[in-house]
Amino acid sequence: PEYTITDHLKKKYVCKVIPDVGKQHIEYPQSWFSSDRTALMEKLSGVCNDFETSTGWTYQYCPHQHIFRYKEDKTERELIGKFFLTSFYALKESRNLEGSDFDKFAAKEEYFDGNLCQGKSRRATVFISPCSDSELLKVKNVDETNECHTQIHACSSEMREVQPSVPSITEQIAHAFKKIKCLNYFGEGWWSYEFCFNKGVRQFHLVRAKEEGKNFQIHEFKVGTEYSLGEFDPAILATEDEKKIRQRENENSKFLELEYSGGSPCEFFSGGLEEQETIKGQARSSTIRFHCGKNLAIDGVVEDYTCHYIFSISVPDLCLHPLLRPSITAVHEIQCL
């Protein structure tokens, strides 16, 4: 669509909004794979496949060996690269906003030391994905946009065995807290907070302790008052992930919710007598909301009602999980004439 836009100088422009199909690239951790991909690649040893491009060059790809290119009459033959290494660091996927199937790359190979090109050796990168048919090896495309570095997309039916075994969300959260056992949150108010995945939730107030010497002064803090806001119970992990997922109001983002109950008895009241009688002596509890985020951290703490708290915790590992992965945002370019 076209729009007429007037700037602050009252100059008019005719502008077009150009839709851009957003893309998302995902790399899964090595720990998600059980297949021995080295053994799968070895099955391709000695197999070659040719692919002719529109420029007249035919590329011959032989996994774990070399890549050549030649003209149809075979009078010209160039070495694009010798096999250097295969990377199995991840299954890499890309998808677009139209919801089409993923392109899956199960392996990546690097080839170096080809014929000279502009004073440097030619090289190539090969992405190998699972074939949808029974082809043992098939070159699907050759990208010649970079004259000295060729990209080849190939597929093999052997790679169909390479599929990620996606752990549950709670398994990913537990894995994230293996090294960092606890998280602290120091707000601007009186209370500070601590969350330990396999232990519980704590609210505490820090008291400054001062030690003085002749030529120095050390400021230390110690915990004064503290309360348990809920204890970890392994039973909370038994429920299926789908039943623990919630969505933020007016937002596309989702989070997984776990309840930590059985904390310290509730003693303080901010409501009327009726509320006091209802809450007095009840155990404090917390709702923990885990979501995708750049850092493993507590984003915020809210006491939504007396002696009940909501913790928002970001976990980078959750950004890969299909159930909590952020949706793709469409980007539109505006061109004004």
DSSP 3-state of 30: helix
Residue 242: helix, strand or coil by DSSP? helix
d(CA 122, CA 174): 45
Say how far residue 282 (Cα) sits from the centre of its chain. 39
Give CA separation, 70 vs 48, 77, 84, 116, in Å: 14, 4, 21, 15
Gap between the Cα atoms of 309 and 108, Å rounded: 47
Q: Is the pLDDT of residue 55 over 80?
A: yes
Provide the pLDDT for residue 1: 58
- β-pairing, 92-96 vs 285-291, is unpaired
Instruction: Note the pLDDT of residue 96.
Output: 38
Q: What is the mean pLDDT of residues 78-103?
A: 56
The whole-angstrom separation of Cα 226 and Cα 191 is 9
Contacts of residue 184, Cβ cutoff 8 Å, sequence gap at least 6: 192, 193, 194, 298
Report the predicted TM-score, pTM, of the whole model to 2 decimal places. Answer: 0.57
Lowest mean pLDDT among 10-14, 90-94, 194-198, 318-322: 90-94
Tell me: pLDDT of 146 over 80: yes
Residues 247-264 have pLDDT tens digits of: 876 566 789 999 999 999
pLDDT digit string, tens, across residues 198-232 = 999 999 988 876 655 555 555 677 778 899 999 99
What beta strand segments (E) does 197-244 contain? 200-212, 217-231
The CA distance from 248 to 236, in Å, is 21
Q: How far is CA 211 from the centre of its chain?
A: 46
Cβ(124)–Cβ(102) below 8 Å? no
Mean pLDDT value of segment 61-80: 85
Q: Are 257 and 240 in contact (CB under 8 A)?
A: no
